Each structure stands twice: as C-alpha cells, then as structure tokens.
Chain A
Amino acid sequence: MRPFSYQRVTDPDMAVQVLSAAAAANNPLTKAAAQPLAGGTTLIDLMKLDVMRPAAIVDINPLSEGWSAVDPGGESLRLGALAKMSDVAAHDEIQRNYPVVANSLKLAASAQLRNMATLGGNVMQRTRCSYFRDVSYENCNKRNPGSGCAAMDGVNRMHAVLGTSDQCIATYPGDFAQALIALDASIEITGRSGTRSMPFAELHKAPGNTPEIETTLQPGELISAFVIPGRWPRSVYLKARDRQSYEFALSSAAVALDVQDGTISDARVALGGVATVPWRAREAEALLKGQRFDDALAQRAADAAFADARGRQHNGFKIALGKRVVARALQQAVTMEI
C-alpha cells in the first residue's frame, strides 16, 4: 500500500473542506488525492491492490453521531448514510415495512463486513470486475481512460448485459442500490454549499465513453442520508449467486408491489448483478400495472426487463437467469403474507 496521511474529522464542514480542496477539477473523484473513509471495506481493499492511491485518508466515522440515525416512523423512511448495513438489516420496522431494503442488506457480503460497511459507502462501492481490480492489466478504461477493456473479450462471465458501452462492461456489484432505485429513493448530499437532495437514480452514471466517471457527486460532496417515500411491505429482494451465502449476485431482482383487490396498482422492478449501474426495469413495471397477476404476466414482465440485454462470450446465461429471477421475485411478492 502506498503511504498516506490519516486525518479524522468531527464535523461535516471540515470533511467537505478537506475533501474538496484535494479534488482536482478534471479528475474523477475516485482519483482525488483525499478519499473519505467510512467502513473501509472497499477503500482499504482497493488501496492494498493499488487500484486506489489516495495521498490522504479522511476518516469521517465521527460524523456517525449525526449521520447514522434510522427513522422509519413517518410517511417515509430516512436512513443516515453512516448507519451500518447490519443495523439496518436487523431493524424490526424496516424488515416489516420495507423487506426489500432489509433483505438487500442482509444478503450482501458477510456478517463482519456488514458490521463495518455503511449505507453510503455501500452505494459507492466500486465494481468487482477482475480486470479493474488487477493492476497488472494495463487495459482498463475505468482505471486508465482510453487504454481499452480487457473484459470485453476476456473472462466476462460476471459482467454486465445491460447499460454497457463499447468502453466498459463492468457490473455494478451492490444489492442495496436496487432497493433504493426501485422505491424512488432520494439522497441527501452534503457539500460546499450546504445540503442538497437528488433522486438516487441520478447518482450513478452508465459508462458510456467515460467509464472512469462513476457518479454525479461533485468535489467534496458526501452522501449524508437516504429517504424512501411511502411504505412497501409487499416487497422482495431475490438474489441468485454461485454460492448460497457471501457472494455477489449473478442476477438479482428488487420487486415491490401494491396489490388492490387482486389488481397490481403499482409495481417496481430493479435488477442487480446484470447491469453497469443500479437498473430500474420500467418496461416491466409498465406491463404489470393495472393487471391481475398470473405466471404468464410475470414471464412477459421478465422478458421486457431484459429486452435490451446483450450478452458476450461468457455471460449470455445471465439473460435467461435474470428473467427467471424477475419472474420468481414477482411470484414471491404477490404471494407473500403481509
């Protein structure tokens, strides 16, 4: 690991000031000289791999005093960005009123990592693309813009089939983000000019021609909270993976339904493990709304969700698998007792 200076901040203004001062104008934020440290489960790992090379670490954990509160009481659910994954996953009211949120967190990583990792850090985690993580490969457009993509014709079994570009097919690896994007969550962002709010769906950027730019956050900005409107007791997070536990998704689906008198009045579907960014399947949602549920409808919705999917040499199976995951998640959501 390269040497760095360590600094611990105790108020948000100080964090924003130090981080924004270290961010060069034209650099992606992931290459800024100063990086915020929350749970550290991505950052320290990638520093050991020499993928991330900050000269300064800004430990923001003391901000958890103000930034880790969980408030499920009102018309919306508010989650502080420094809340730990394990605490939110185990929260009774979240399990009851937002099972898709609780289960997306519970099914991620391991108990140790969930104890360390924060919600804000979780949505900011970097791709697990094996070529991105291995600096002995020069050609990674995300690490070295313009250098090419080793995954494109390499071992790409784990890679994305949706939202790809000819520059990058790296999968967005997280689970929680699928629950957030499905439920129309917004994020509160603390930066130089105070706090602003933004739809979570606008946080991540598809790779396009600039896969090195992963989010729309500006220099010095930190996610301070997530807000999920409404309640979604009829919701499911289903995750298919190579192992039963402690593995990233090959394909996952976050599904939330509102069913009135047997008719689907509202439907939310998001896909994980198959796309370059958290992926909302609005085509599937449109097919479901106003309909009575049956297996044929679930199949049509699943087909619609993957209509634009493009596989490469090793990951074409994700399209068939992903459709089955969506259909089964819909079936589970319809039949769950609430």
Chain B
Amino acid sequence: MPEHSSSRSSGFDRRAFMAGAAGSALVPMTARAAAQDARPVTAQDPSLPVDVTLRVNGKDKRLSLDARTTVLDALREHLKLTGSKKGCDHGQCGACTVLIGDRRVVSCLTLALAAEGQEITTIEGLATDDHLHPMQQAFIDNDAFQCGYCTPGQIMSAIACVKEGHAGSDADIREYISGNICRCAAYPNIVAAIKQAAPEIMKG
C-alpha cells in the first residue's frame, strides 16, 4: 500500500490513485456513486494548496485551494460568484444555499474538496439568456424580499422545495423553507412566490 498518511516531504499528487489494496477500493459506479467523486484522495500537507476541479453551473473550474475552503468561499472568493451569500457561516441561516446534484445544501458547511465531481448549481446558474428562472420571476412578482441578502438562498431552497414535492400547502412550504431565515420577515410574500412558481417548475 502506498504512503498515504502524510506526504509532507514530497508535496503530494492528489491525482495519484491509491493502488487500492487488492482492488477493494474500487467502487462500482451505480447511480448514487456516480453522483459523487468516489476516488480515494491521499492526505496532503495542510500548508499547501490542493488542486481541485469543481463543476459549477455546468462548467468545470480548476482551482488551487486551501483544504479548509468551503464551497461558499470557493464560489465567492475564487470564482467571483458572489450571488451565494455568507450570513452566519455556521449552517444556521440558509443564505449560502446551493444545489449539489439535485439536493439543496448549505455551502458554508461543505468542504470544496468533498464536493469534487459533483454538479454545483448557484443562483447565477438559473437564468437562461434573457429569461429568468420561474422562481426568480415569482420573487420579483410577489415582492418577496426587502434587503435581498437572503434572496439567493431563498430561491435556491425554494426550487428544491418544489421539486421535492413539499410545496403542496402553505404549511408545507413554511415547514420545508424554514432553513432560510429572512431578517426583513418577507415570509408571507416568499410563500406566495413559491406557490406562484411551483406549477411552472413541476411542469418542467
């Protein structure tokens, strides 16, 4: 088995596959495994940046990151995609919500290295040409914000809420959007926006 606990002296090559003791490290690529980068990665020198490719809004982005970098910081500080907002930075407010695969997650608690190989969708990836996403349009139509700081997270979370099938009633929407805090308390209008956009999103 190759050295993997530390490569402090030689730097590291995180592209190097571990030889996979007796082949047991090979993971069959089912639908679930395919959604995630299942290659082993060897430990690296914490003081050195790590090369990583993130797939953001349909494009591969090659980055060299400190291992501590979250998806949120990679988006905002390295890719200049500042739509996703840093509110609490502890997974409590939802302002940083993005989609990874088809799941809404808080990007502030997701390590960028752990998101390699997965499809990341941010607020910047929603509109096509001159057309806003139905949820973006619905937020405008319903005046579903005041200061707007939580809005990108609200919209990403709202889209997932609809696609999960959790937008059937006002009560359902309130329960399943509760991970997105709005300091301006635009909640009634946010619920109205989600109800407006839901049929169009479900129609595809």
Contacts and interface: CB of A to CB of B under 8 A. Distances in A.
A65 B67 contact: no
Interface in A97-117: 109-113, 115-116
A162 interface: no
Contact of B109 (A3, A44, A64, A86): A44
Given A37-B111, A112-B179, A65 B43 contact: no
Contacts of A90: 164
Contacts, number: 146
Given A10-B27, A109-B179, A111-B160, A3 B67 contact: yes
A245 B157 contact: no
B194 interface: no
A231 to B, nearest CB: 25
Given A11-B24, A57-B111, A113-B179, A6 B41 contact: yes
B91 A45 contact: yes
Contacts of A68: 32
A294 B110 CA distance: 49
Interface footprint category on B: 35 or more
A61 B43 contact: no
A111 B166 contact: yes
Contacts of A110: 94, 178-180
Interface in B158-199: 160-161, 164, 166, 174-180
A180 B149 CA distance: 39
B75 interface: no
Given A11-B25, A44-B109, A64 B32 contact: yes
Contact of B40 (A5, A10, A115, A243): A10
Nearest to B8: A5
A44 B90 CA distance: 8
Interface of B: 4-6, 18, 20-21, 24-28, 30, 32-33, 36-47, 50, 66-68, 70, 89-91, 94, 97, 103-106, 109-111, 113-114, 157, 160-161, 164, 166, 174-180
Given A14-B25, A40-B114, A65-B38, 7 more contacts: A10-B40, A14-B18, A14-B21, A21-B5, A57-B111, A65-B32, A110-B178
* Top 3 A-B residue pairs of the complex, sorted by shortest distance between their CB atoms: A110-B179, A3-B46, A245-B178
Interface of A: 1, 3-11, 13-14, 18, 21, 37, 40-41, 44-45, 48-49, 55-57, 59, 61-62, 64-65, 68, 86, 90, 109-113, 115-116, 243, 245-246
